[in-house]
Amino acid sequence: MIRPEFIRGVNQSVKLRATSSVYKIVHVQPQDEHYHSAIACKIISSICGLEICEVLEKHKKISIVPSSATFLINIDQPCKNSEVNQTLLSKVVKEKNLKELLKLGGAKGIAVSLKTDENRGIGGAVEDIFGRQEEFGTNAYSKPPTKGFLYFVLEAFKDPTILILLVCAALSLGFGIKENGPKEGWYDGGSIFAAVYLVISISAISNFRQSRQFDKLSKVSNNIQIEIVRNGRRQQISIFDIVVGDIVCLKIGDQVPADGLFLDGHSLQVDESSMTGESDHVEINQYRNPFLFSGTKVTDGYARMLITSVGMNTTWGEMMSSISQESNEQTPLQARLNKLTSSIGKVGLAVAFLVLLVLLVRFFTGNTTDENGDKEFSGFGKTKVDEVINGVLGIIAAAVTIVVVAIPEGLPLAVTLTLAYSMKRMMADQAMVRRLSACETMGSATTICTDKTGTLTLNRMKITKFWLGKETVEGKSYTSIAANVLELLHQGVGLNTTGSVYRSSASEFEFYGSPTEKAILSWAVLELNMDIEKVKGNCSIMHVEAFNSEKKRSGISMKKVEDDTVHAHWKGAAEMVLKMCSHYYDLEGNVNSLNDFDRMKFERIIQGMAASSLRCIAFAHTQVLEAGHANPNGQQKIQDNGLTLLGLVGLKDPCRPGVKRAVEDCQFAGVNVKMITGDNVFTATAIATECGILKLNEEMDDGSVVEGVEFRNYTEEERMEKVDKICVMARSSPFDKLLMVKCLKKKGHVVAVTGDGTNDAPALKEADIGLSMGIQGTEVAKESSDIVILDDNFSSLATVLRWGRCVYNNIQKFIQFQLTVNVAALTINFVAAVSAGEVPLTAVQLLWVNLIMDTLGALALATEKPTMELMEKPPVGRKEPLITNVMWRNLLVQALYQIVVLLTLQFKGKSIFSVSKKVNDTLIFNTFVLCQVLNEFNARKLEKKNVFEGIHRNKLFLGIIGITIILQIVMVEFLKKFADTERLNWSQWGFCIGIAAASWPIGWLVKCIRVPERPIFSYVNWKKLRCM
C-alpha cells in the first residue's frame, strides 16, 4: 500500500515522497492557504494516480503549514498497512478486482508491502529469495505423474500376438509338466515364457527410456530466460527462478512468466487468447487494466511488471496442472511406416494361416513324426488327448511366432530410437527439436529462407560511422558537435530506447537490451558523454510508438521539465526516417532545408555505408505543439513529418566465421539458400555476397535481388515465375516472408524458414520446418517453430539439415535390413511347412530372431551419425518412395541368398554333414541368425560398396554386434533345453560363419548392378489392377 507521508515545497517547488519513492519536482506559485490546499490535491492525484484520489475523497484531512518559501502538507493515512498474503494477491489479480487493488495502494503499494523497490527491484540475496519461495511458492507447475515402467510393460502386453503366445506357453507348460513331470516338462512352455519376457522387457525399457528423454527435452524447452531487475541491475534468469516481488521487463514477443501487475511502460498490449480464447489484443495500463497473467504474450509496447503470484498460484498454473505434457505426436514417417507394417503384417498373417492349415492337416493325417521317428498322431482312440493338445499347441505356437516375426513392429521402434538419438545429439549441436516431425522433414528440405542479423552475422553491433549533416564525425571530433545538437542526440538515444545502462563503478558501464540498442547506448555514453539518468530526469516521456518490423522505426513524444516544451524523437531505418525529414542539422548546430540535391547526397551516404555492410540508422527530431498530440479518437499520435535530421550512424555486424562454408555445404546438397532481411538492398547485397548466397557477378537486374515491396506488388503469375531465381529479399516485412513461403510451397519445394520476431510467427507456421532463434527469438516465434537454433548460427542450421537426412537414411537402412529378414523367414518357413510338414525354426528361436531384428537391429542402425556424404545427394522429394529401387535390389538379393542356403540345409543338410536332425536344425538356426547379424554391416551403406567405412567411430554398433554374437553362442552352446539346440563343433561353427560372411562379397557385387531411377512400382498401373 502506498503511504504518502508528506508533500514538501522547497523554493517554490513541490516534492512528493511516498516511502522509498521520490517523485519529480513540480513548480508551484505559493499564494494563500486555500490555493496551497487545492494545488496540493491536484499534484498528488496527478503523480500518484487514482488510488490517492480515492484517499482524498474519503479522508480530506490536509493540514497546511504556510511559509514564505516552503509549505508542508500532511495527509492522514486511510488505513494501516496490513501485510498482504498470497491468497489476497492471487484473488485480486485473477478476479481483476481494481477496487480492491486501489484499497491496497495499487501496484506501487503492493510493491512496498512485498519489500520491493520499484526502481531497483528486490535485493536478490539468497536468504531473501528462499524466504519468498517459502512464503509464496516457486514458479513451477505440478504436472500429472509421468508414466512409470509398469505402464509400458502393460502396454507391451496389449499386443495380441504376445497374448496368444502367452496362452500357448501356459498350456504347453501345463501339459508338458503333466506328461513329463516338473523336471523335464517345463522346457517348451518355459522357453516361450522366457522369450516373451525378454521381448516385453526390452520393448518396455526402450519405450520407458524414450518417455524420459522427451520429459527432459520438455523441461529444456520450457526453461525460458526472463529479464528482471534485481538490486538495480537488469539480468536474465530462468523462468523457474522468478519469485513474488520480482520486477520483470517485458517487450514485444515475450511470454508473461507469472501473474502480476503493470508498474510502468508504454503502449503495452497482450494476447490473452491462451487464457480466454479471445483473439483481440488487450491493452494494459496502470489505471484501467493493470493485470497481467502468466502464459499470455506481449504483442506491442514494453513495460515493467511486479510479480504477485507464481507457479500453482497463477491461473496458468492451475490450468497446466491438469494437462499432460506427453507428446503422442505421430510423425509423417511413422505414419508411412505404420502402413508398411500393416501391409507386411497382412502378408505374414496369410503365410502363418497357410502354415497352420498345412501343419494341422499333416498332423491329423499322420504325416508328422516325433524325435524317435514315431507318428505324432495315430488316431483319436490311439493317441492320448494330452499328446494331441500338446502337438496342436506346438503348431499354433509356430504359426503365431511366424506372425510375430512377420510383423515388423521394429519399424516404429526404429523411428522412435533414431528420432530420440538424433534429438539428443542435435541438442549438443545447438538445435532443440520442439516437434518430432521436423527431424525427418528437415532432411527433405529443398529451400532455406534465412534471416541476416544474428544468423548469418554475429549480432555484435558496433557503431563505426557517424554522419552529422554532410560531414563524418570520428574520435576526438565528437567534441566539435554543437551543444544543442548534442542535447537532442542525448534525448533521442536515451529516451527512445528499450535498452538500459547500469553504472557498476565510476568508469564502468553495463548495457542491456538488443544488440542494436546496446551498440547505440554504448556509443552515446562512451563517445558522446551521455548521462542517461540526467536525461531522464530532465524530461518526461508522454507517448511511445514501439519499434516493429513493418514500419522499421520507433518514436517518442516527450516534455522538457524546465520549459514544458513538447518534442518528438524518431529513430529507425535510415532511408525510412530520411523520408520523414524536411530539414537537417549541420556540425555547427544550424538547421538547413533539405532540398532534392541534399536528399540525394544523404541517400548516397546511406548507400555507401550499406555497401560496406553497415546497418544504417537515422535520428530525427522536431518540436511540436502539445495540442497536436491527440487525434479525433483520443489516441496519442507522434508527429512523423516535417522532422529535422539529427544524424546517421553505421553499425558493423561482421559475418559469422564458417557461415560461407555452411552456405556452400547447403548449396552443394541441392538446397537453395535465400536471405530475407529488413536491411536495405545495398547492405543485404553486400552481406549476401560475403556469405556466398550471391555470386560476385549477380546483380539486381537479373532478378536475384528484390525488395519486399516489389515482390509484394508482383502479380501471382510473376511471383510464381520469379520466386526460384530470387536469392535476396531486402526491406522485407513479415508478410513478404509469408508470401514467399507460400509461393515456394506451391511450386513443390519443402521450405525451411528462420525467424526471430513475433511477426515471423505466421511464416514459421506456414513453412514445412520453422526454425526460431534461441538468443534473439521471442517466445512467440519459438512457440510457432519446430526447431530452436540455440546459438542463432547458420552453421547449426546446416548441421540440422545433415541430421534430418541422417534420420531418413537410418530408417531406410533399417527397413532394408528388416525386410530381408521378413522375406527370408516367411519363405523358408512356408516352403518347409508345405513340403516337409514342419518349420525348421521353433517358436523360441523365431522370437530370438525377432529380438535381434527388431530391437538390437534398430538400436544398431538407428544410431549412425551423419556424414558429409549425405550432403552429396539431392534432397528427397515429397513423393519419393520410402523403399527405393536400390533398397529393393539389395534386400531381394540378400534374401534370395539366405533362402537358397537355408532350404538346401533343410532338405540336404543331414546328408551333407552326416548329422542328426536336431544338429541340422541347429545349423539352420545358427546360420540364419549369423546371416542377419553380418547383413547389418551391408545395411550400413545403401549404395557405397565399402560397408566398413567409418565403422570404428560407431562404438554402439560394434557393441551391439558383439553382444548379439555372444548371446547367440550362449543360446547354441549352453541353453540347449531352452532354445531346443545341440552343441556345434568348430568346423560346424566355421561353416555357419563362412556362409554368413559370404553376404559381404555378394553385397559388394550386387551394388555393381545399376537400377533405374524411376521407382519400380510406378511402372504398375494400379487403377487398372483395381478395376480387374
- Known catalytic residues? 451
Q: Which helix (H) or strand (E) holds 447?
A: strand 447-450
- Residue 473 in 3-state DSSP? coil
Alpha carbon separation from 893 to 343, 875, 890, 1000, 1007 (Å, rounded): 21, 27, 6, 12, 10
Angle at 667 between CA 664 and CA 670, to 5 degrees: 150
CA 34, CA 42: separation in Å to the nearest integer?
A: 13
Cell numbers placing 299: 504483442
Q: How many CB atoms lie within 10 A of CB 335?
A: 12
User: Which stretch of DSSP H or E encloses residue 302?
Assistant: strand 297-309
Cell 513475433 -> residue: 758
| Measured distance CA(361)–CA(355) in Å, rounded | 10
Coil, strand, or helix at residue 505?
A: coil
Decide: helix, strand or coil at residue 71: strand
CA distance linking residue 510 with residue 496, whole number of Å: 18
Give the rounded distance of the alpha carbon of 256 from its chain centre. Answer: 19
Residues for the chain: how many in total? 1028
The Cβ of residue 638 has, within 10 Å, a number of other Cβ atoms equal to: 19
Strands 769-773 and 751-755: parallel
Q: All 3 cell numbers of residue 445? A: 528440405
* Cβ count within 10 A of residue 407: 23
C-alpha distances out from residue 342 to 356, 829, 848, Å: 20, 20, 22
**Residue given cell 510464381 in the structure block:** 720
Q: Report the 10 Å Cβ neighbour count for 360.
A: 15
What single DSSP character describes residue 702? G
SS (H, E, C) 601-639: HHHHHHHHHHHCCEEEEEEEEEEECHHHHECCCCCECCC
Give CA–CA dist 187/978, Å, rounded: 6
C-alpha cell at 705: 535481388
The answer to whether 889 and 819 have CB atoms below 8 angstroms apart is no
* Residue 1013 cell numbers, joined: 531411377
Q: Which residues contact 963 (CB under 8 A, 6 or more apart)?
A: 856
**Nearest to residue 841, comparing CAs of 831, 852, 850, 829?**
829
Residue whose cell numbers read 500393416: 342
Question: Which 8-state DSSP code applies to residue 435?
Answer: S
Q: How many CA within 13 A on the CB side of residue 453?
A: 24
> Contact, 419 vs 811, CB < 8 A?
no
User: Residue 25, by phi and psi: left (phi above 0), alpha (psi -120 to 50) or beta?
Assistant: beta
What single DSSP character describes residue 247? E
Q: How many CB atoms lie within 10 A of CB 1021?
A: 9
Other residues' Cβ atoms within 10 Å of the Cβ of residue 216: 12
Of the chain, the end-to-end C-alpha distance in Å amounts to 85
Query: Distance between CA atoms of 155 and 204, rounded to whole angstroms?
Result: 8
Query: How far lies 700's CA from each of 39, 605, 656, in Å?
Result: 65, 20, 24
